[in-house]
Amino acid sequence: MAYDARAFERHYLGERASAATAPYRVVGVQADRVRAAVDVVLTDAAGRRLVVFCERRVPGAECLAATTHLNVSYYAEAGVDSAEAARVTRALAAALAAREAELSDAELAEVLTFSGREIGNPRRALELRINRECNEACAFCNTPADSETLLVDPAGVEALLRAEAATGCRAVLFTGREPTLEPRLPRYLELARSLGYEHRRVQTNGTSFASPEVVARLTAAGMNEVEVSFHTTSEETFERLVGKRHLLDRTAQGIRNVLAAGLRCQLIVVITRWNAREVPALVGDLRRRFPGLERVVLSPVAPVGDAAARPELWPPLGELGEVTSAALRAARAAGLAAHVPSRCGLPLCLLEPDVRDASDELENAPGETVEAGKAYAPACARCAERGRCTGVWAAYLAELGDTALRPLAEAALAHRDRR
Ligand SMILES: C[S@@+](CC[C@H](N)C(=O)[O-])C[C@H]1O[C@@H](n2cnc3c(N)ncnc32)[C@H](O)[C@@H]1O
């Protein structure tokens, strides 16, 4: 999901912003990959990076600083002092506020017009994390109950739905912790439908959908796509990685009920060290297990949220590349569409050549800078795909090393756009 980073740069940034952020200076502006936001990338003389994100201001959303129209906060990068990061972020916000006061409505609209069209790519959908409750306890959860990406205030959720619809957004993803436990979800879905959102997806662990009535109720309210987490078929692995073992059957039943209701459905498999070896066979069998399934997303565990403190879950990079490649091949052999996301993915060089076309990194415009939390290894400087690669999780590099990375001698494939 994205606002126009170039319009933001043109209208909001300038001398005032540069002067305000010393000793950091602005080195780039890019669309955020997680939020409907623009990232301002700053570095200091020692090369430390600070990424300040600016998103539409909504009631109930937590943030460090604000202008009339923007919430402004930052992603913590290793080595950056948090007090210094907060000071620079507040100073930048003050400069943005001063500039904003001079902008015309047309200039503001240019910045805050949503450039998204479709839900398959998270940069093109409005993603709303609507609640704190969850009935599972994933060891790798990227959204702990205190996550600042949660927007649990109903007025904020509704305001954002209206604001993004008005700027042309047509795809919304309701997620959370576990969104099906949120009593207001039917109301949000109804509102989304009435505002013209064509794709109204719920991202879920699937357990609530073991009850066909819940599927029917949410479908009647407007849900027309479902994405279910499905990381293992082994009760032992499930209990270790996800939650109480009886919930595994409920998830599988939930997926069957969603498909029986005729809804579009895709699964997401998060690959950790604890389930990695199971993943190719799991993926190869999904079509048989769940006839009608449309797609599977393969997502190596991102070291964020709870997973940030669980290095024992991070697969060695070489193994990750092998397992993901084998799983993509297994999906292909079974006639199931599969892809690897860009942010919660892995670099192109780790995928074997015959399956590289399944990576969303190919959608990146060459020249986009590395994103928050990621870094490059020294060898990456020689890689032909350096311009499109969003990097490797910095925490992975520090923990697991970079020896599995292989700079590519030539560009992997042409630019791809799944729209
Ligand atoms: C917090 S869950 C919310 C929705 C729901 N409770 C579920 O289990 O699908 C967010 C989504 O990100 C995935 N996920 C969670 N932690 C992750 C991590 N550390 N790395 C990559 N994906 C992760 C989940 O599988 C799910 O698709």
- Residue with more model confidence, 48 or 204: 204
Kindly report the length of the chain: 419
Rounded to the nearest angstrom, the distance between the alpha carbon of 105 and the centre of ligand 1 is 38
Average pLDDT for 240-247: 97
Surface-to-core class of residue 46, CB atoms within 10 Å of its CB (0-12 exposed, 13-18 middle, 19+ buried): exposed
- Name the nearest CA neighbour of 254 among 180, 307, 329: 180
Atom of ligand 1 nearest to the CA of 302: 20
The confidence band for 419, taking pLDDT boundaries of 50, 70 and 90, is very low
- Using the structure block, give the residue that is written with the tokens 């017009």: 113
Over residues 34-72, the pLDDT tens digits come to 677 888 989 899 888 898 989 888 877 778 999 999 999
pLDDT of residue 82: 85
CA-nearest residue, atom 25 of ligand 1: 229
CB 180 less than 6 A from any atom of ligand 1: no
pLDDT of residue 65: 93
Pocket test for ligand 1, best of 133, 174, 229 (most atoms within 8 A of CB): 229
Q: Which of 114-118, 198-202, 381-385 has the largest mean confidence?
A: 198-202
The confidence band for 1, taking pLDDT boundaries of 50, 70 and 90, is very low
Determine phi and psi for 388, rounding to 5 degrees. -100, -15
CA-nearest residue, atom 27 of ligand 1: 229
pLDDT of residue 47: 84
- Residue with more model confidence, 407 or 61: 407
* Helix or strand (DSSP H, E) at 110: helix 105-111
CB 395 less than 6 A from any atom of ligand 1: no
Rounded to the nearest angstrom, the distance between the alpha carbon of 173 and the centre of ligand 1 is 13
CA-nearest residue, atom 5 of ligand 1: 204
User: Which residues fall within 8 angstroms of residue 407, CB to CB, at 6 or more apart?
Assistant: 349, 379, 380, 381, 382, 383, 384
- Residue with more model confidence, 361 or 230: 230
Contact assessment for residue 185 and residue 174, using Cβ atoms and an 8 Å cutoff: yes
Say whether pTM exceeds 0.85.
Answer: yes
- Name the nearest CA neighbour of 231 among 307, 117, 120, 292: 307
Predicted confidence (pLDDT) at residue 118 exceeds the cutoff of 70: no
Using the 8-state DSSP alphabet, how is residue 368 labeled? P
- Name the nearest CA neighbour of 160 among 204, 127, 116: 127
pLDDT of residue 338: 97
pLDDT of residue 251: 98
Average pLDDT for 350-375: 85
User: Which residues fall within 8 angstroms of residue 84, CB to CB, at 6 or more apart?
Assistant: none
pLDDT of residue 412: 61
Rounded to the nearest angstrom, the distance between the alpha carbon of 303 and the centre of ligand 1 is 12
- Residue with more model confidence, 33 or 301: 301
* Helix or strand (DSSP H, E) at 112: none
- Residue with more model confidence, 387 or 115: 387
The confidence band for 368, taking pLDDT boundaries of 50, 70 and 90, is low
pLDDT of residue 63: 84
- Residue with more model confidence, 14 or 405: 405
Average pLDDT for 321-335: 97
Determine phi and psi for 202, rounding to 5 degrees. -115, 130
User: Which residues fall within 8 angstroms of residue 146, CB to CB, at 6 or more apart?
Assistant: none
CB 67 less than 6 A from any atom of ligand 1: no
Tokens of 217: 């109720």
The confidence band for 122, taking pLDDT boundaries of 50, 70 and 90, is very low
Rounded to the nearest angstrom, the distance between the alpha carbon of 31 and the centre of ligand 1 is 22
Q: What share of the chain is helix, strand, coil (3-state, %, to 5)?
A: 40, 15, 40
Paired residues of 199 in beta bridges: 171
CB 149 less than 6 A from any atom of ligand 1: no
Average pLDDT for 355-372: 81
- Using the structure block, give the residue that is written with the tokens 């990338």: 41
Contact assessment for residue 293 and residue 337, using Cβ atoms and an 8 Å cutoff: no
User: Which residues fall within 8 angstroms of residue 116, CB to CB, at 6 or more apart?
Assistant: 1, 2, 36, 123, 124, 125, 126, 168, 169, 170, 171
- Domains of the chain, by residue range, sit at 5-105, 122-363
- Residue with more model confidence, 3 or 326: 326
Contact assessment for residue 235 and residue 193, using Cβ atoms and an 8 Å cutoff: no
Domain 122-363 of CATH type 3.90.440.10: no
- Using the structure block, give the residue that is written with the tokens 């600083």: 65
Predicted confidence (pLDDT) at residue 115 exceeds the cutoff of 70: no
The confidence band for 6, taking pLDDT boundaries of 50, 70 and 90, is confident
Predicted confidence (pLDDT) at residue 105 exceeds the cutoff of 70: yes
Tell whether omega for the bond before 23 is within 30 degrees of 0, i.e. cis. Answer: yes
Contact assessment for residue 348 and residue 356, using Cβ atoms and an 8 Å cutoff: yes
Q: Which of 18-22, 108-112, 124-128, 304-308 has the largest mean confidence?
A: 304-308
pLDDT of residue 415: 61
Q: Which of 119-133, 198-212, 377-391 has the largest mean confidence?
A: 198-212
Pocket test for ligand 1, best of 138, 207, 248 (most atoms within 8 A of CB): 138
Contact assessment for residue 258 and residue 215, using Cβ atoms and an 8 Å cutoff: yes
- Name the nearest CA neighbour of 373 among 50, 2, 24: 50
Over residues 142-187, the pLDDT tens digits come to 999 998 889 999 999 999 999 888 888 889 999 999 999 999 999 9
The confidence band for 119, taking pLDDT boundaries of 50, 70 and 90, is very low
CB 299 less than 6 A from any atom of ligand 1: yes
pLDDT of residue 362: 87
